[in-house]
Amino acid sequence: MTRTRAVAAAAALVLAAGCSSEGSSPDGSPDPEPSRTPTSSTSAPTTDPAKPAVVLRGYPGSSCQTRGGMVVEVGSMRVTRPVTLEKAGLVGDVNVVHGAPSVVARPDRGPDWSGSYPGPQPSPRSRRDLGWDQRKPLAGAQLEPGRYYFFLPLRVRPPSAHFDALQVTWSEGDVPGVDEAERVSDFKDSCR
């Protein structure tokens, strides 16, 4: 009786191994695991709606700048799912007038950077490094997964100005979203 059970078990094992299609295709090549999705270096493998589709890079802390007039704020963001951008702005701003924001795919050599540039546009070298000449209006821009810069031109009013964070809103179909990046900034005649 023991030998009969052993033969039956061996036959069942051989039959199960020969008929199983898990992990292979009809031509014998391995199939990808059904829970994994191929990704590229510019896309993120997340489909979790609880995670934001747009993530801004924040810089906790505060800065004081001795400049007024025109300033271009540059923000860095990662897009994990296709979205349509709605607007970009500031949180907690005082004595600041916003211009029309724009967005560009971050060049391959571009750093994950955010900051301020004095004047109406960055320097020639920074314009090249940031992809400034390829930017497009942010409102209504349809973005695929990847990394991007956004630009927010500002007019800083004297005698002082302030903001707490950068903010971007978007929609993913009918679902709205918003993310903020802390960057407490003061603009004064003197930072002493």
Maximum CA pair distance of the chain?
98
| Average pLDDT value for residue range 27-42 | 32
H or E stretch at 77? strand 69-79
Q: What is the dihedral of CA 39, 41, 46, 52, to 10 degrees?
A: -150
Do β-strands 62-65 and 175-187 pair in parallel, antiparallel, or remain unpaired?
parallel
More confident residue, 68 or 180: 180
| Cα–Cα distance for residue pair 60/124, rounded to 1 Å | 28
| Angular region, 8: left φ>0, alpha ψ -120 to 50, beta rest | alpha
Nearest to 169 by CA among 96, 93, 107, 77: 77
CA-to-CA dists, residue 86 to 71, 124, 175, angstroms: 22, 28, 12
Per-residue model confidence (pLDDT) at position 43: 37
pLDDT digits (tens, 9 = 90+) for 73-110: 999 999 999 999 999 999 999 999 999 999 999 998 77
pLDDT digits (tens, 9 = 90+) for 54-78: 999 877 778 888 777 899 999 999 9
**pTM of the predicted protein model:** 0.71
